[in-house]
Amino acid sequence: MGERRIQHSLVTHDEHDDRHYGAVHVPVYDSSLFTFPSVAKMDRADEEGSYTYSRGNNPTVNELERKLALLEGGERARCFATGMGAISAAVLSVVRAGDHIVCVNQVYGPAKRLMGEYLQRYGVETDFVDGSDLMAIEAAIRPNTKLLYLESPSSLLFELQNLKACAELARRQGIRTIIDNTWATPCYQNPLKYGIDMVVHSLTKYAGGHSDAMGGVVIGSEQLIGELDRNELVLLGAVMQPQVAALVVRGLRTLPLRMERHQNGAMAVAAYLASLPFLDRVRYPGLPSHPQHQLAEEQMSGYGGLLSFEAGLDREKLIRFIDQLTYFRIGFSWGGYESLVSLQERIVDPPGRNVPVVRLYIGLEEPGDLIRDLTAAFQSAGFHD
Ligand SMILES: Cc1ncc(COP(=O)(O)O)c(C=O)c1O
């Protein structure tokens, strides 16, 4: 509770700042470059910490980075144009040709392709393992393993990894750890305190919070983020625009408040879904029936708005259900104000018999309205007790 109060102040309170004429919200420095009154002054730009060019540093983007580092308890943060920009930069900052990655198998799809397919071109191999099984992670480690990539909870089946145990295992073997912490946000999970090296977020989700901006961030130690800053940020150049940074700073002001609301709504919807006898599996780490609920309680201080369920193999029936929903709009993202639904699948062995999974994102609407919407859609799609 105490920790949460600090977070509220971190996002709502800015000190008076004469550099901005006392402006209460950080101004948008929408300038690609910064000029100098003399060559001598330009020559001293680095030592004086002056801004020169916005692909490297921009005051508005830096302000967002300062806040995100504080929220995650990291020394430094660097922002990117998207979450994938942040993930690619973080991964590339660790691996070299000939290296090996161990990655959890429920990881976000494009991150899986980056490590499992794309990086093969550069001689980097990846093994995907069941992240809930520490022994499977340990067994996958090779002498050339340089990175353990985590996502906890994952964003379709909500599988968790034991962050402290993973960090200790990796440190013992000199392996770097990266986690995608987008689901829990810095409000509800701070992986750096368990010894994870770098945290990535898609800011497109909860941090932006209004489905009108894309962004990403990597947070970690001065040393690791410094290296990434000199190389992947400036060389690949997928940097965040200052206009977007100001939108995300604005989003952060209400992040703790919105997360409470998403959590309460998702808890109510998850409990309702869990009470329906015609649903097979309702997956939400906040439910006591979640197989890793105990671990979730230990390493997270709250829950997000994303959950999923299964209801047999009849895809057409699920499509009828989804098409009947009025509050839930059909779409893939999450983290904004609006509730969303998408039909995805759980991959099973043998291939070809994948199980349809409905993913719901609980926005800021009244939970009662959402439950009424779901009830009506289940009925008209032919789901009965
Ligand atoms: C868990 C997770 N991580 C990362 C990303 C990538 O973020 P972005 O779309 O901002 O590149 C997403 C996007 O859906 C996501 O769901």
| pLDDT tens profile 50-70 | 999 999 999 999 999 999 999
CA 111-115-116 angle, 5° bins? 105
| pLDDT tens profile 268-278 | 999 999 999 99
Instruction: Tell me, yes or no, whether 10 and 121 share the same domain.
Output: yes
Q: What is the pLDDT of residue 12?
A: 84
Residue 214, ligand 1, Cβ within 6 A: yes
Q: Are 346 and 289 in contact (CB under 8 A)?
A: no
Range of the domain at 264: 255-381
- Boundary (domain end) residue, out of 253, 277, 297: 253
- Boundary (domain end) residue, out of 211, 228, 253: 253
Instruction: Tell me, yes or no, whether 82 and 184 share the same domain.
Output: yes
pLDDT confidence tier of residue 1, bands split at 50, 70 and 90 = very low
Instruction: Tell me, yes or no, whether 205 and 316 share the same domain.
Output: no
Ligand 1 atom 9 nearest Cα: 83
| pLDDT tens profile 128-141 | 999 999 999 999 99
Instruction: Tell me, yes or no, whether 187 and 322 share the same domain.
Output: no
| pLDDT tens profile 8-17 | 788 888 888 8
Helix (H) or strand (E) holding 185: helix 185-188
| pLDDT tens profile 291-336 | 999 999 999 999 999 999 999 999 999 999 999 999 999 999 999 9
**Which ranges of the chain does DSSP label H, i.e. alpha helix?**
2-12, 39-43, 45-48, 59-72, 83-94, 109-116, 134-140, 163-172, 185-188, 222-228, 242-253, 255-274, 293-299, 315-324, 367-381
Q: Give the ligand 1 atom nearest the CA of 85.
A: 11
Q: What is the pLDDT of residue 6?
A: 56
Q: How many structural domains comprise the chain?
A: 2
Euclidean distance between the first and the last CA atom of the chain, given in angstroms as a whole number: 40
pLDDT confidence tier of residue 352, bands split at 50, 70 and 90 = confident
Q: What is the pLDDT of residue 350?
A: 75
Instruction: Tell me, yes or no, whether 273 and 297 share the same domain.
Output: yes
Beta-carbon contacts of residue 13 (< 8 Å; ≥ 6 apart) = none
Q: What is the pLDDT of residue 23?
A: 92
Instruction: Tell me, yes or no, whether 236 and 290 share the same domain.
Output: no
Q: Among residues of the chain, what percentage have pLDDT more than 90?
A: 91
| pLDDT tens profile 281-293 | 999 999 999 999 9
What SS3 class is residue 8?
A: helix
Instruction: Tell me, yes or no, whether 179 and 315 share the same domain.
Output: no
Instruction: Tell me, yes or no, whether 37 and 133 share the same domain.
Output: yes
Instruction: Tell me, yes or no, whether 325 and 217 share the same domain.
Output: no
Instruction: Tell me, yes or no, whether 219 and 279 share the same domain.
Output: no
Q: Are 369 and 339 in contact (CB under 8 A)?
A: no
Q: In this structure, how many other beta carbons lie within 10 angstroms of the beta carbon of residue 105?
A: 18
Instruction: Tell me, yes or no, whether 32 and 178 share the same domain.
Output: yes
Residue from 106, 202, 342 to probe ligand 1 pocket by mutation (most atoms less than 8 Å from CB): 202
Cis peptide before 356 (omega within 30 of 0): no
User: Where does residue 226 rank: exposed (0-12), middle (13-18), buried (19+ CB within 10 A)?
Assistant: middle
Q: Which of 294, 93, 299 is nearest to 195 (CA)?
A: 299
- Boundary (domain end) residue, out of 214, 231, 253: 253
Residue 155, ligand 1, Cβ within 6 A: yes
Pairwise pLDDT comparison (5 vs 40), residue with the higher score: 40
Q: Which of 119, 81, 79 is nearest to 99 (CA)?
A: 119
Residues marked active site are found at: 55, 108, 180, 205
Dist. CA 276 → ligand 1 center (Å):
30
Residue from 181, 205, 214, 240 to probe ligand 1 pocket by mutation (most atoms less than 8 Å from CB): 205
Residue from 84, 198, 239 to probe ligand 1 pocket by mutation (most atoms less than 8 Å from CB): 84
Lowest mean pLDDT among 106-115, 149-158, 258-267, 348-357: 348-357
* Dihedral angle, C-alpha 312, 293, 132, 149, nearest 10 °: 110
Q: Rounded to whole angstroms, how far apart are CA atoms 206 and 252?
A: 8
CATH code, domain with 80: 3.40.640.10
Lowest mean pLDDT among 22-26, 228-232, 327-331: 22-26
Mean pLDDT to the nearest integer, 18-24: 89
Q: What is the pLDDT of residue 356?
A: 96
Q: Are 216 and 79 in contact (CB under 8 A)?
A: yes
Instruction: Tell me, yes or no, whether 192 and 302 share the same domain.
Output: no
Q: What is the pLDDT of residue 3?
A: 52
CATH code, domain with 316: 3.90.1150.10
Dist. CA 110 → ligand 1 center (Å):
8
Ramachandran sector of residue 64 (left: φ over 0; alpha: ψ -120 to 50; beta: rest): alpha
Residue 82, ligand 1, Cβ within 6 A: yes
| pLDDT tens profile 342-351 | 999 998 877 7
Q: What is the pLDDT of residue 8?
A: 78
